[in-house]
Protein backbone atom coordinates (compact mmCIF):
# COMPACT_ATOMS: atom_id res chain seq x y z
CA UNK A 1 0.00 0.00 0.00
CA UNK A 2 1.28 3.47 -0.87
CA UNK A 3 1.43 6.25 1.66
CA UNK A 4 1.42 9.97 0.93
CA UNK A 5 4.37 10.50 3.25
CA UNK A 6 6.97 7.76 3.46
CA UNK A 7 10.79 7.40 3.34
CA UNK A 8 11.52 10.95 2.16
CA UNK A 9 9.49 12.68 4.85
CA UNK A 10 10.77 10.20 7.48
CA UNK A 11 14.31 11.02 6.36
CA UNK A 12 13.61 14.75 6.55
CA UNK A 13 12.25 14.44 10.09
CA UNK A 14 15.25 12.31 11.08
CA UNK A 15 17.78 14.80 9.74
CA UNK A 16 15.86 17.70 11.29
CA UNK A 17 16.06 15.99 14.68
CA UNK A 18 19.72 15.11 14.16
CA UNK A 19 20.57 18.68 13.16
CA UNK A 20 18.84 20.23 16.15
CA UNK A 21 20.10 17.60 18.59
CA UNK A 22 23.74 17.84 17.55
CA UNK A 23 23.66 21.65 17.62
CA UNK A 24 22.19 21.81 21.13
CA UNK A 25 24.78 19.30 22.37
CA UNK A 26 27.61 21.19 20.65
CA UNK A 27 26.60 24.45 22.31
CA UNK A 28 25.93 22.66 25.62
CA UNK A 29 29.47 21.25 25.57
CA UNK A 30 30.88 24.67 24.74
CA UNK A 31 29.01 26.21 27.68
CA UNK A 32 30.12 23.47 30.08
CA UNK A 33 33.82 23.61 29.33
CA UNK A 34 35.05 25.42 26.26
CA UNK A 35 38.54 23.91 26.36
CA UNK A 36 37.56 20.35 27.09
CA UNK A 37 34.69 20.19 24.60
CA UNK A 38 36.30 22.10 21.74
CA UNK A 39 36.41 19.16 19.33
CA UNK A 40 33.05 17.88 20.53
CA UNK A 41 31.42 21.25 19.76
CA UNK A 42 33.23 21.57 16.46
CA UNK A 43 31.97 18.17 15.27
CA UNK A 44 28.45 18.96 16.53
CA UNK A 45 28.28 22.16 14.50
CA UNK A 46 29.74 20.37 11.47
CA UNK A 47 26.94 17.79 11.65
CA UNK A 48 24.11 20.25 12.35
CA UNK A 49 24.36 22.38 9.22
CA UNK A 50 24.47 19.64 6.52
CA UNK A 51 21.77 17.69 8.39
CA UNK A 52 19.49 20.74 8.28
CA UNK A 53 20.22 21.07 4.54
CA UNK A 54 19.34 17.40 4.04
CA UNK A 55 16.09 17.91 5.99
CA UNK A 56 15.04 20.73 3.65
CA UNK A 57 16.18 18.87 0.52
CA UNK A 58 14.26 15.71 1.36
CA UNK A 59 11.12 17.72 2.11
CA UNK A 60 11.52 19.57 -1.19
CA UNK A 61 12.06 16.35 -3.18
CA UNK A 62 8.85 14.93 -1.70
CA UNK A 63 6.83 17.86 -3.07
CA UNK A 64 4.71 17.18 -6.13
CA UNK A 65 5.67 20.54 -7.64
CA UNK A 66 8.87 21.67 -5.87
CA UNK A 67 9.20 24.86 -7.94
CA UNK A 68 6.10 26.21 -6.20
CA UNK A 69 7.91 26.18 -2.86
CA UNK A 70 8.17 29.94 -3.31
CA UNK A 71 4.35 30.12 -3.09
CA UNK A 72 4.51 29.46 0.66
CA UNK A 73 2.71 32.27 2.44
CA UNK A 74 0.21 30.86 4.96
CA UNK A 75 1.61 31.76 8.38
CA UNK A 76 -0.80 29.36 10.16
CA UNK A 77 0.68 26.36 8.33
CA UNK A 78 3.37 24.39 10.14
CA UNK A 79 5.25 24.08 6.83
CA UNK A 80 5.54 27.87 6.64
CA UNK A 81 6.56 28.19 10.30
CA UNK A 82 8.98 25.29 9.89
CA UNK A 83 10.53 26.89 6.83
CA UNK A 84 11.18 30.09 8.80
CA UNK A 85 12.65 28.16 11.74
CA UNK A 86 14.81 26.01 9.46
CA UNK A 87 15.95 29.06 7.50
CA UNK A 88 17.20 30.80 10.64
CA UNK A 89 18.69 27.59 11.97
CA UNK A 90 20.63 26.90 8.78
CA UNK A 91 22.05 30.42 8.80
CA UNK A 92 23.04 30.28 12.48
CA UNK A 93 24.50 26.78 12.24
CA UNK A 94 26.57 27.82 9.22
CA UNK A 95 27.85 30.87 11.13
CA UNK A 96 28.65 28.60 14.08
CA UNK A 97 30.87 26.47 11.85
CA UNK A 98 32.58 29.52 10.39
CA UNK A 99 33.09 31.28 13.72
CA UNK A 100 34.22 28.37 15.88
CA UNK A 101 37.83 28.28 17.10
CA UNK A 102 40.23 26.42 14.79
CA UNK A 103 37.41 25.98 12.32
CA UNK A 104 37.94 23.16 9.85
CA UNK A 105 36.43 25.05 6.94
CA UNK A 106 37.48 28.65 7.61
CA UNK A 107 40.54 28.48 9.92
CA UNK A 108 41.36 32.14 9.25
CA UNK A 109 38.03 33.34 10.75
CA UNK A 110 37.21 33.10 14.45
CA UNK A 111 34.39 35.04 16.09
CA UNK A 112 34.89 36.69 19.47
CA UNK A 113 33.80 34.58 22.46
CA UNK A 114 30.85 36.87 23.19
CA UNK A 115 29.67 36.62 19.56
CA UNK A 116 29.95 32.83 19.69
CA UNK A 117 27.91 32.75 22.89
CA UNK A 118 25.14 34.91 21.43
CA UNK A 119 25.22 32.91 18.21
CA UNK A 120 25.06 29.62 20.11
CA UNK A 121 22.19 30.85 22.30
CA UNK A 122 20.06 31.89 19.33
CA UNK A 123 21.21 28.84 17.39
CA UNK A 124 20.12 26.52 20.20
CA UNK A 125 16.72 28.22 20.31
CA UNK A 126 16.21 27.56 16.60
CA UNK A 127 17.77 24.09 16.94
CA UNK A 128 15.16 23.15 19.52
CA UNK A 129 12.55 24.77 17.28
CA UNK A 130 13.72 22.59 14.39
CA UNK A 131 13.40 19.40 16.44
CA UNK A 132 9.97 20.41 17.75
CA UNK A 133 8.88 21.38 14.24
CA UNK A 134 9.52 17.85 12.97
CA UNK A 135 6.89 16.61 15.44
CA UNK A 136 4.49 19.55 15.19
CA UNK A 137 4.38 19.11 11.41
CA UNK A 138 2.79 15.74 12.09
CA UNK A 139 0.81 16.94 15.11
CA UNK A 140 -1.02 19.62 13.12
CA UNK A 141 -2.52 16.90 10.92
CA UNK A 142 -6.07 16.91 12.25
CA UNK A 143 -6.96 13.73 10.39
CA UNK A 144 -4.22 11.56 11.91
CA UNK A 145 -4.90 10.82 15.59
CA UNK A 146 -1.65 8.83 15.95
CA UNK A 147 0.28 12.07 15.55
CA UNK A 148 -2.07 14.26 17.58
CA UNK A 149 -0.52 13.65 20.97
CA UNK A 150 1.49 16.11 23.09
CA UNK A 151 4.10 13.42 23.77
CA UNK A 152 5.32 13.20 20.16
CA UNK A 153 7.39 16.45 20.25
CA UNK A 154 9.17 15.21 23.37
CA UNK A 155 9.78 11.77 21.89
CA UNK A 156 11.35 13.41 18.84
CA UNK A 157 13.29 15.81 21.06
CA UNK A 158 14.88 13.02 23.09
CA UNK A 159 15.49 10.96 19.96
CA UNK A 160 16.99 14.01 18.22
CA UNK A 161 19.42 14.61 21.08
CA UNK A 162 20.27 10.88 21.22
CA UNK A 163 20.97 10.67 17.49
CA UNK A 164 22.90 13.96 17.72
CA UNK A 165 25.08 12.46 20.43
CA UNK A 166 25.63 9.31 18.37
CA UNK A 167 26.51 11.32 15.25
CA UNK A 168 28.99 13.48 17.19
CA UNK A 169 30.51 10.30 18.63
CA UNK A 170 30.89 8.81 15.17
CA UNK A 171 32.29 12.07 13.84
CA UNK A 172 34.90 12.21 16.61
CA UNK A 173 36.10 8.75 15.67
CA UNK A 174 36.73 9.72 12.04
CA UNK A 175 39.74 12.03 12.32
CA UNK A 176 42.97 11.19 14.15
CA UNK A 177 43.21 14.44 16.14
CA UNK A 178 39.54 14.30 17.10
CA UNK A 179 39.82 10.60 18.00
CA UNK A 180 42.58 11.45 20.45
CA UNK A 181 40.23 13.72 22.38
CA UNK A 182 37.41 11.14 22.42
CA UNK A 183 38.50 9.38 25.68
CA UNK A 184 38.10 12.70 27.54
CA UNK A 185 34.36 12.74 26.73
CA UNK A 186 33.77 9.02 26.88
CA UNK A 187 32.34 8.84 30.41
CA UNK A 188 30.01 11.82 29.95
CA UNK A 189 28.90 10.63 26.52
CA UNK A 190 28.17 7.11 27.72
CA UNK A 191 26.29 8.35 30.79
CA UNK A 192 24.21 10.75 28.67
CA UNK A 193 23.65 8.01 26.09
CA UNK A 194 22.27 5.63 28.73
CA UNK A 195 20.08 8.34 30.31
CA UNK A 196 18.60 9.39 26.94
CA UNK A 197 17.99 5.75 26.01
CA UNK A 198 15.96 5.18 29.16
CA UNK A 199 14.12 8.47 28.69
CA UNK A 200 13.26 7.65 25.07
CA UNK A 201 12.07 4.18 26.02
CA UNK A 202 9.91 5.67 28.79
CA UNK A 203 8.32 8.28 26.50
CA UNK A 204 7.82 5.72 23.73
CA UNK A 205 5.95 3.34 26.05
CA UNK A 206 3.89 6.24 27.43
CA UNK A 207 3.14 7.47 23.90
CA UNK A 208 1.99 4.11 22.56
CA UNK A 209 0.04 3.42 25.74
CA UNK A 210 -1.90 6.66 25.72
CA UNK A 211 -2.38 7.63 22.06
CA UNK A 212 -5.94 7.23 20.83
CA UNK A 213 -5.14 5.43 17.55
CA UNK A 214 -5.57 1.67 18.10
CA UNK A 215 -5.17 0.75 14.42
CA UNK A 216 -1.79 2.51 14.18
CA UNK A 217 -0.53 1.09 17.49
CA UNK A 218 -1.62 -2.38 16.36
CA UNK A 219 0.25 -1.90 13.07
CA UNK A 220 3.44 -1.17 15.01
CA UNK A 221 3.17 -3.93 17.55
CA UNK A 222 1.61 -6.80 15.63
CA UNK A 223 0.78 -5.50 12.14
CA UNK A 224 2.57 -4.48 8.98
CA UNK A 225 5.17 -2.28 10.73
CA UNK A 226 5.88 -4.85 13.40
CA UNK A 227 9.35 -5.88 12.12
CA UNK A 228 10.44 -2.26 11.65
CA UNK A 229 9.29 -1.34 15.12
CA UNK A 230 10.45 -4.36 17.08
CA UNK A 231 13.70 -4.96 15.22
CA UNK A 232 14.56 -1.46 14.00
CA UNK A 233 13.39 0.78 16.83
CA UNK A 234 13.48 -1.43 19.92
CA UNK A 235 16.25 -3.99 19.28
CA UNK A 236 18.66 -2.13 16.95
CA UNK A 237 17.96 1.41 18.08
CA UNK A 238 17.45 1.04 21.81
CA UNK A 239 18.17 -2.32 23.43
CA UNK A 240 21.49 -3.33 21.79
CA UNK A 241 23.02 0.19 22.09
CA UNK A 242 21.85 0.34 25.72
CA UNK A 243 23.47 -3.02 26.52
CA UNK A 244 26.70 -1.99 24.75
CA UNK A 245 26.72 1.37 26.55
CA UNK A 246 26.21 -0.31 29.92
CA UNK A 247 28.97 -2.78 29.03
CA UNK A 248 31.38 0.00 28.09
CA UNK A 249 30.62 1.72 31.43
CA UNK A 250 31.76 -1.42 33.22
CA UNK A 251 34.77 -2.21 31.05
CA UNK A 252 37.17 0.63 30.52
CA UNK A 253 38.92 -0.85 27.48
CA UNK A 254 36.24 -1.01 24.83
CA UNK A 255 37.45 -0.73 21.25
CA UNK A 256 36.48 2.29 19.17
CA UNK A 257 34.93 -0.10 16.66
CA UNK A 258 32.37 -1.29 19.20
CA UNK A 259 31.67 2.28 20.27
CA UNK A 260 31.29 3.36 16.65
CA UNK A 261 29.03 0.39 15.98
CA UNK A 262 26.84 1.39 18.94
CA UNK A 263 26.51 4.93 17.60
CA UNK A 264 25.64 3.66 14.13
CA UNK A 265 22.87 1.49 15.60
CA UNK A 266 21.43 4.50 17.44
CA UNK A 267 21.30 6.42 14.15
CA UNK A 268 19.57 3.55 12.35
CA UNK A 269 17.07 3.24 15.20
CA UNK A 270 16.37 6.99 15.11
CA UNK A 271 15.58 6.85 11.41
CA UNK A 272 13.35 3.78 11.71
CA UNK A 273 11.52 5.44 14.62
CA UNK A 274 10.57 8.35 12.32
CA UNK A 275 9.54 5.90 9.60
CA UNK A 276 7.19 3.84 11.78
CA UNK A 277 5.61 6.97 13.21
CA UNK A 278 5.17 8.65 9.82
CA UNK A 279 3.76 5.55 8.13
CA UNK A 280 1.94 4.24 11.21
CA UNK A 281 -0.02 7.48 11.47
CA UNK A 282 -1.37 7.00 7.97
CA UNK A 283 -2.73 3.53 8.70
CA UNK A 284 -6.40 4.08 9.45
CA UNK A 285 -9.23 1.63 10.01
CA UNK A 286 -10.52 0.27 6.71
CA UNK A 287 -14.08 1.22 5.83
The residues binding another protein (CB under 8 A) are: 4-5, 62-66, 68-69, 71-74, 76-80, 83, 136, 138-144, 148, 150-151, 153-154, 281-282, 284, 287
Least distance from another protein to the Cβ atom of residue 8, Å: 11
Least distance from another protein to the Cβ atom of residue 75, Å: 9
Least distance from another protein to the Cβ atom of residue 154, Å: 6
Least distance from another protein to the Cβ atom of residue 132, Å: 8
Dist CA 57 CA 36 (whole Å) = 34
Least distance from another protein to the Cβ atom of residue 265, Å: 27
Least distance from another protein to the Cβ atom of residue 53, Å: 19
Residues in the chain: 287
Is 154 or 263 the residue whose CB approaches another protein more closely?
A: 154
Contacts of 267 (CB under 8 A, 6+ apart): 18, 163, 166, 167, 170
Is 53 or 79 the residue whose CB approaches another protein more closely?
A: 79
What is the C-alpha end-to-end distance of the chain, expressed in Å? 15
Is 64 or 107 the residue whose CB approaches another protein more closely?
A: 64
Amino acid sequence: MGYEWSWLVSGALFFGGLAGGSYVLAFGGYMLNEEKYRNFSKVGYLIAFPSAILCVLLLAVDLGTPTRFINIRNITSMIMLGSIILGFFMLLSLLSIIGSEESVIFPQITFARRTRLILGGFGSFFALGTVMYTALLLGASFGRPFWGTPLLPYLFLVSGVLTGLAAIGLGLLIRDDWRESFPTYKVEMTTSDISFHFLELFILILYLGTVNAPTAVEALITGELNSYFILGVLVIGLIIPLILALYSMQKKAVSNRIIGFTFALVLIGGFVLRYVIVVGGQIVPSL
